[in-house]
Amino acid sequence: MPTRYIFITGGVISGLGKGIVTSSIGKMLQFRGFKVTACKIDPYINYDAGTLRPTEHGEVWVTEDGGEIDQDLGHYERFLDINIPKSHNITTGQVFYEVIKKEREGKYLGQTVQPIPHVTDEIKRRIREVAEKSKADFVLVEIGGTVGDYENVLFLEAARQMRLEKEDVLYVHVAYLPMPKSLGEMKTKAVQHSVRELGNFGIQPDFIIGRADTYLDDVRKKKIALFCNVNEEDVISDPEIDNIYKLPLIFEEERFGDKILSKFGLPPIKPRNEKWKRFLEKVDNLTETLKIGIVGKYFDIGEFRLPDSYISVIEAIKHASWHNSRKPIIEWIDSKTFEEEKGNLSVLDEVDGIIVPGGFGTTGIEGKIMAIRYARENNLPFLGLCLGLQLAVVEFARNVCGLEGANSTEIDPDTPHPVIDLLPEQKKILKKSRYGATMRLGGQIIKIKPSTLAHRLYGRTEIIERFRHRYEINPEYVGLLEDHGFVFSGMTPDGRIMQIGEIPNHPFFIGSQFHPEFTSRVLRPNPLFNGFIKACMERTE
Ligand code: GLN
């Protein structure tokens, strides 16, 4: 079967959840037995998402092969339960970099190098390479941004050319229908305009997905069909839902999966989505809750962006809680309030466990350390992610080993006890002021020590998890920490870098140098999160 391509564009406003739509289309095809992969086009000039501000752009997703990518790739992986390599993220920066490099190398000798065809050829080459390498039956290509933006024009042009070049291509346009209060009805005009704009680039959508507060009614569908030149049955509802993972099932109500197959000339196939359906039905009926505190620094994050900056952590909490038949309630706990007033730590009595997530910089650090101490001394379940582990080591060094002023050199370069210090390879890189893609990144093998909590949770002595950091536990302090009862239960295969730390004789106290949230999947929670949730449950019982 030749690869088939489905392009997903957006119209009217950004933030429509195109990534969820893309993932859901993929899931419907997977339910029909097809091999699916997805790629994301980000029209910005950054080479990758590594140097973007998470509070503005959402969290940085780390791929198994060490890419720092837009969070949509995370949705694809969570929905589709596949590993997606970094080459599936195509940015304007990468495309131009490549074209200019080729020009310098004389690969276009004698030619005038132009946006069309040279840049569009490079875009198509990358998309086709995704198809070739993944050997997928369907490649979904989500074009970031909104139709009408200057910056995605060349990508739309490349998408147009692919059909012209006789590839099997479908275009799906996701657009927003506002419902002004004063009118009390959904309006289609903005959708019409965005489809017309798409038409200016020579693309006629095969499907229009109407993103709105509720389902589209027949009147709306008829109107969109007539004005946008699509069949009425190819206008699909994308209503507001309480759980994103339901979208593949909602699309199925309108037989969207089979309609896609039919456009490709394929016969309908009954989707095998029973397991997914049953799981989500169970989630719908959960009554017992768990309160999970995420202790972070939140001053520079507006209300709305908070969940985006920690999206993988939140999803990992959901997957593990649902797996254990609990509905999670997430409490955002600002660590700076502890620094202002120690008594504020009593908010920790109201949660069933705390997570200290990853982070960079010095703000709110002492408050996080206070929270970790509180969790250690009060038997509160604790899970530390990357920075969270590093600070657990600092706390232990100071308050158990008696190393006054112990710290990470990221926070205090002059600390008398640098228990967390730069990885040796990072020292060289930082001297050259290189920041893009220079951290220790991606999936690495970790050896797990038998008879530890980590071993019980993973049930194996070797795992692969994903990293994104510059600092490590200083090997010079490992012996001393261990003498005082800290257990390093995971390390690099050469035994040099400590990767998991835990404290025995505590209901649940563990931290990892990697980010376990990146390998959590809807039906397959990550073992560290799963163990953490179980410990939180035991505490409530
Ligand atoms: N800032 C720390 C480091 O670079 C932790 C990074 C993280 O939490 N991802 O090692």
Instruction: Confirm if 444 and 465 have CB atoms less than 8 A apart.
Output: yes
Q: Residue 462 has which token pair? A: 């070797």
Q: How far apart are CA 237 and CA 220, in angstroms?
A: 10
Domain positions in the chain are 4-280, 286-540
| Ligand 1 near 387 CB (within 6 A) | yes
Q: ω before 178 within 30° of 0 (cis)?
A: no
Query: Atom of ligand 1 at shortest distance to CA of 468?
Result: 9
Instruction: Confirm if 475 and 453 have CB atoms less than 8 A apart.
Output: no
Q: Do 286-540 and 4-280 fall under one CATH topology?
A: yes
Positions marked active-site:
386, 515, 517
Q: How far apart are CA 171 and CA 202, in angstroms?
A: 11
Residue with token string 């050469």: 494
CATH of span 4-280: 3.40.50.300
CATH of span 286-540: 3.40.50.880
Instruction: Confirm if 337 and 294 have CB atoms less than 8 A apart.
Output: no
Report the pLDDT value the prediction gives residue 473, as an integer from 0 to 100.
95
Instruction: Confirm if 491 and 512 have CB atoms less than 8 A apart.
Output: no
Please name the residues in contact with 28: beta carbons below 8 A apart, sequence gap of 6 or more.
248, 251, 252, 256, 257, 260, 271
Report the pLDDT value the prediction gives residue 462, as an integer from 0 to 100.
97
Query: Atom of ligand 1 at shortest distance to CA of 360?
Result: 1
Q: How far apart are CA 392 and CA 364, in angstroms?
A: 14
- Percent with pLDDT over 70 in the chain: 96
Q: Give tens-digit pLDDT for 438-491.
A: 788 999 999 999 999 999 999 999 999 999 999 999 999 999 999 999 999 999
- As beta bridge partners, residue 353 has 292
| Ligand 1 near 469 CB (within 6 A) | yes
| Ligand 1 near 388 CB (within 6 A) | no
Please name the residues in contact with 151: beta carbons below 8 A apart, sequence gap of 6 or more.
43, 44, 92, 145
The residue to mutate among 469, 499, 518, having the most atoms of ligand 1 within 8 angstroms of its beta carbon, is 469
Query: Atom of ligand 1 at shortest distance to CA of 420?
Result: 10
Mean pLDDT, residues 54-58 taken together: 62
Q: Give tens-digit pLDDT for 173-227.
A: 999 999 999 988 899 999 999 999 999 999 999 999 999 999 999 999 999 999 9
Instruction: Specify the amino acid at residue 266.
Output: L
Distance 116 CA to ligand 1 centre (A): 41
| Ligand 1 near 359 CB (within 6 A) | yes
| Ligand 1 near 360 CB (within 6 A) | yes
Distance 471 CA to ligand 1 centre (A): 6
| Ligand 1 near 67 CB (within 6 A) | no
Instruction: Confirm if 442 and 50 have CB atoms less than 8 A apart.
Output: no
3-state SS assignment for residue 16: coil
Distance 156 CA to ligand 1 centre (A): 37
Distance 361 CA to ligand 1 centre (A): 9
Instruction: Confirm if 49 and 69 have CB atoms less than 8 A apart.
Output: yes
| Ligand 1 near 511 CB (within 6 A) | no
Q: Residue 191 has which token pair? A: 């959708």
Please name the residues in contact with 473: beta carbons below 8 A apart, sequence gap of 6 or more.
389, 390, 393, 419, 420, 488, 497, 498, 501, 513
Distance 78 CA to ligand 1 centre (A): 23
Query: Atom of ligand 1 at shortest distance to CA of 358?
Result: 8
Distance 296 CA to ligand 1 centre (A): 13
Mean pLDDT, residues 94-109 taken together: 94
Please give the DSSP secondary-structure letter assigned to residue 117. Answer: I
Nearest CA to ligand 1 atom 7: 358
Mapping DSSP onto H, E and C, the string for 52-95 reads: CCHHHHCCCEECCCCCEECCHHHHHHHHHCCCCCHHHEEEHHHH
Is residue 262 very low, low, confident or very high in pLDDT (cuts 50, 70, 90)? Answer: very high
Is residue 304 very low, low, confident or very high in pLDDT (cuts 50, 70, 90)? Answer: very low
Nearest CA to ligand 1 atom 8: 358
Q: Give tens-digit pLDDT for 320-373.
A: 999 999 999 999 998 988 988 888 888 999 999 999 999 888 888 999 999 999
